[in-house]
Amino acid sequence: MNEPLIYDVAGLTAIIGDRLKSKETDKPSAWDKIVTVVEEDGGDSKNIELLLSKVRILRSVAGTGTVRGMLAHELSELDDKICEVISEQVDRALPRMDSPYHNLAIWSRSIRREQPVHLFTTNYDLLLEQALEESSAPYFDGFIGSRNAFFDLGAVEDEDLLPPRWTRLWKIHGSLNWRLNESAAVVRSDEKSNTRSYLIYPSHLKYDQSRKMPYLAMLDRLKAFLLKPSALLFICGYSFADEHINDVICRSLETNSTSHVFAFTYGQLDDAKYELARKCALSTPNLSMLAFDKAIIGRNVGEWQTDDIDALALPPNVLASDGATVSVKLGDFAALGSLLRGLAGPQEQANES
């Protein structure tokens, strides 16, 4: 019973493939065709975000005809089916109220702040929303209203006028409960009657201005945050696989030398999946990459070392040592959650007991 609550990109891709691939070898489905296209172009066919991006790239140039052996309507239908399966698979709830998500939410509300906490995520699920609400942590996500909350670009751009105790939640790649209504307005709704209304953005390509607006607004919030004096951004669970987000981060850090990003990565520094992350850290002095075994700080690579691990007042799952080597596991969201829970202070812990 060690299955994850929500699968990672590779796991999600496998599930979608099982659902959409053809059962007849001589009659490839639209899914089979797009997998072949991605592999022919040298891409990773186990990455659903890359596959969906390719679907949308081809759809944008197909017009009413055919491209790479795929019809325009075939690409549109495949886009809908992929988004439908993604939404189905990520529609999960946290089973307990002591999760790392809840620890993050409790930390976000723990003190009165002069500046608000900003949470940026590329996930489509509603786990952050659940944890914030169950922890009574007020937040603003760009939508106004209750029954069919609508996306308000003006409120997003003027979020500095909102109370600083409200956490800002920015879902860069969209959300499983974002929809386009009949008037082509972006709303937040649990209604699933129209599968074409899913607003999930694994790519930068959008078909119209309505779909594009939230994506660009969320990226703009990330850029605006990093351009603030002495901004600090802590990253966990992001492998730097989205080059558009990477560009916003690195260009903003180049512009604002007073800001800094600490990227906590899960596993070893030299893992192949962190190639783009290492590239960013090695070229950007105010971007530090902290893996389990090593770190890149100030463009310098080094292993973790300490003379007395027991003297460091950190949760036991953050640091580990076998006597010869030291591991720093902030890239494990559970470990980061434990650290944040401790930083929330004794009053918050007493309130929860």
Per-residue tokens: 92: 């999960």
Domain boundary among 90, 110, 131: 90
Residues 146, 134: Cα–Cα separation, whole Å: 17
Confidence at residue 201, expressed as pLDDT on a 0 to 100 scale: 63
Q: Same domain for 53 and 127?
A: no
pLDDT tens per residue, range 24-49? 888 999 999 999 999 999 999 998 88
Query: For residue 229, is it within any domain?
Result: yes
Per-residue tokens: 351: 């309130």
CATH code where residue 242 lies: 3.40.50
Per the structure, the complete domain to which residue 62 belongs is given by 9-90
Percent of the chain exceeding pLDDT 90 equals 67
Per-residue tokens: 236: 């966990």
Q: Same domain for 258 and 344?
A: yes
Q: How many domains in the chain?
A: 2
Query: For residue 160, is it within any domain?
Result: no
Q: Same domain for 230 and 319?
A: yes
Q: Are 139 and 168 in contact (CB under 8 A)?
A: yes
Query: For residue 128, is it within any domain?
Result: yes
Q: Same domain for 214 and 109?
A: yes
pLDDT tens per residue, range 42-84? 999 998 888 988 998 899 889 889 999 999 999 999 988 998 8
Q: Where are the beta strands (DSSP E) in the chain?
A: 66-67, 70-71, 118-121, 139-140, 143-144, 149-151, 167-171, 174-175, 178-180, 186-188, 199-200, 232-236, 260-264, 287-290, 294-297, 300-303, 319-321, 326-328
Q: In what order do the strands lie in the sheet with 300-303?
A: 232-236, 260-264, 287-290, 294-297, 300-303
Residues of the chain under the 70 pLDDT cut = 1-2, 192-211, 346-353
Query: For residue 123, is it within any domain?
Result: yes
Confidence at residue 341, expressed as pLDDT on a 0 to 100 scale: 93
Q: Same domain for 81 and 228?
A: no
Query: For residue 238, is it within any domain?
Result: yes
Q: Which residues pair with 149 in a beta bridge?
A: 188
Rg (CA), the chain: 21
Nearest-5° Cα angle at 51, 76 to 129? 85
Residues 6+ apart with CB under 8 A from 351: none
Q: Same domain for 217 and 301?
A: yes
Q: Which residues pair with 260 in a beta bridge?
A: 232
Q: Same domain for 124 and 266?
A: yes
Calculate helix-pair angle for 72-90, 9-20, nearest 10 degrees: 130
Q: Same domain for 232 and 116?
A: yes
Q: Are 109 and 137 in contact (CB under 8 A)?
A: yes
Core vs surface per residue 162-184: b (16+ CB within 10 A) or e:
eeeebbbbbbbbbbbbbbbeeee
Domain boundary among 29, 55, 90: 90
Query: For residue 319, is it within any domain?
Result: yes
Q: Same domain for 20 and 134?
A: no
Query: For residue 337, is it within any domain?
Result: yes
Per-residue tokens: 225: 């945050």
Per-residue tokens: 50: 């890359």
Core vs surface per residue 98-127: b (16+ CB within 10 A) or e:
ebbbbbbbbbbbbeeeeebbbbbbbbbbbb
Query: For residue 132, is it within any domain?
Result: yes
Q: Same domain for 271 and 127?
A: yes
CA end-to-end span of the chain: 28
Q: Same domain for 45 and 104?
A: no
Nearest-5° Cα angle at 214, 127 to 221? 80
Q: Same domain for 85 and 216?
A: no
Q: Are 83 and 195 in contact (CB under 8 A)?
A: yes
Residues 165, 67: Cα–Cα separation, whole Å: 50
Residues 80, 91: Cα–Cα separation, whole Å: 16
